[in-house]
Amino acid sequence: MKVKDILAVLEAIAPPHLQESYDNAGLIVGHPEAEVTGVLFCLDSTEAVVEEALTLGCNLVVAHHPIVFRGLKRFNGSSYVERTVMQAIRKEVALYAIHTNLDNVYYQGVNAKIAEKIGLSDTRILLPRRESPDSGLRTQDSGLRTSDSGLLTGAGMIGLLPQPMAETEFLQHVKSALRASCVRHTALRNKPVEKVAVCGGSGSFLLSEALRSGADAFVTADFKYHEFFDAEGRLVIADIGHFETEQFTIELLFDIIREKFPTFALHCTKVNTNPVFYL
């Protein structure tokens, strides 16, 4: 089994060209022809995760977040990014990231996993995107149902709860289902929640789409103080934290590879890489 064989399975689900322009998904450290001894799945590649991989006999770490977003000019260990990359190179551990390309797919994507955990049905992409084969340009089409347009890529997801829930009950459900330590939310509207929008990670850019789609609540992360005002009482924003929205991506990636290679050495990290703590 080679690195490229594992990557081919992942990239069949989330092709690299679907990543956003600012992203750095892909094979960051390592060679695609290298033989794989085992795979460790995580949200973030850190020094502790690389050490865990070595302990488990894994020489491939598959992460959601790229350890390198910008060019590195020096490798002297002055930052955790440099130290992690240096450690991986020294120990011959490949580092791969599957980030916004996995965010932007409907089937087996990040938001599908969140919707599954919350219990949403009749799901569709919140902000679909269409690829133009001639120009290579991307256009986004608001308000189109995936089932109608055939668009299975784009940002966020929206779906329905099995039955309407009171807002407080819904927020407690989200907190429990997504194992969140707390929920930052806008004022309650005293209306039932049935249609729910979700976006793993930083989702404030999708608020207008969630409103346009008639969502009763929007579950995401990283809303800034003034952005909460933009809900204007038309839906409930439930900000549960970046790590909390994306943590189930680890088991998602594990399941994708296990389905193809059920007997191969696969592991989910036991290292909690969440940099945010709550008192």
Q: Which residues of 192-215 are buried (b: 16+ CB within 10 A; e: fewer)?
A: ebbbbbbbbbebbebbebbbebeb
Pair 231, 148 in one domain? yes
Give per-residue pLDDT as tens, 62-80: 999 999 988 888 888 889 9
- In this predicted structure, the answer to whether residue 134 has a pLDDT above a threshold of 60 is no
- In this predicted structure, the answer to whether residue 273 has a pLDDT above a threshold of 90 is yes
151: pLDDT confidence band, cut at 50, 70 and 90?
Answer: low
Pair 116, 87 in one domain? no
Q: How much is the average pLDDT of 209-228?
A: 98
Tell me if 278 is assigned to some domain. Answer: no
pTM for the predicted model, two decimal places: 0.90
Q: Is 108 exposed, middle or buried (0-12, 13-18, 19+ CB in 10 A)?
A: middle
Task: For residue 173, give the amino acid letter.
Answer: H
Tell me if 277 is assigned to some domain. Answer: no
Tell me if 177 is assigned to some domain. Answer: yes
Tell me if 160 is assigned to some domain. Answer: yes
Tell me if 215 is assigned to some domain. Answer: yes
Give per-residue pLDDT as tens, 26-51: 999 999 999 999 999 999 999 999 99
On average, the pLDDT of the chain sits at 92
Domain range holding 135? Answer: 104-239
The region of weakest confidence among 73-87, 132-146, 153-167, 194-208 is 132-146
CA separation (Å) from 84 to 198, 248, 278? 31, 23, 26
Q: How much is the average pLDDT of 211-226?
A: 98
Pair 139, 185 in one domain? yes
Pair 111, 178 in one domain? yes
Pair 94, 159 in one domain? no
Tell me if 279 is assigned to some domain. Answer: no
Pair 159, 68 in one domain? no
Q: How much is the average pLDDT of 94-123?
A: 97
CA angle 26, 27, 33 (to 5 degrees): 135
131: pLDDT confidence band, cut at 50, 70 and 90?
Answer: low
140: pLDDT confidence band, cut at 50, 70 and 90?
Answer: very low
Pair 62, 32 in one domain? yes
Q: Give the integer Cα–Cα distance in Å for 47 and 35.
A: 22
- In this predicted structure, the answer to whether residue 135 has a pLDDT above a threshold of 60 is no
Beta carbons of 158 and 126 less than 8 angstroms apart? yes
Into how many domains does the chain fold?
A: 2
Q: Give the integer Cα–Cα distance in Å for 204 and 170.
A: 20
Q: Note the pLDDT of residue 142.
A: 38
Q: Give the integer Cα–Cα distance in Å for 111 and 156.
A: 6
Pair 179, 195 in one domain? yes
Pair 216, 148 in one domain? yes
Task: For residue 141, give the amino acid letter.
Answer: D
CA separation (Å) from 277 to 106, 182, 203, 270, 272? 31, 11, 21, 17, 11
Residue 86 maps to which CATH number? 3.40.1390.30
Pair 109, 225 in one domain? yes
Q: Note the pLDDT of residue 152.
A: 87
Give the start-end residues of each E strand in 142-229. 154-165, 184-185, 193-202, 217-221
- In this predicted structure, the answer to whether residue 133 has a pLDDT above a threshold of 50 is no
Q: Which residue has the tokens 């960051």?
A: 28
Q: Which residue has the higher pLDDT, 148 or 90?
A: 90
Pair 110, 231 in one domain? yes
Pair 94, 182 in one domain? no
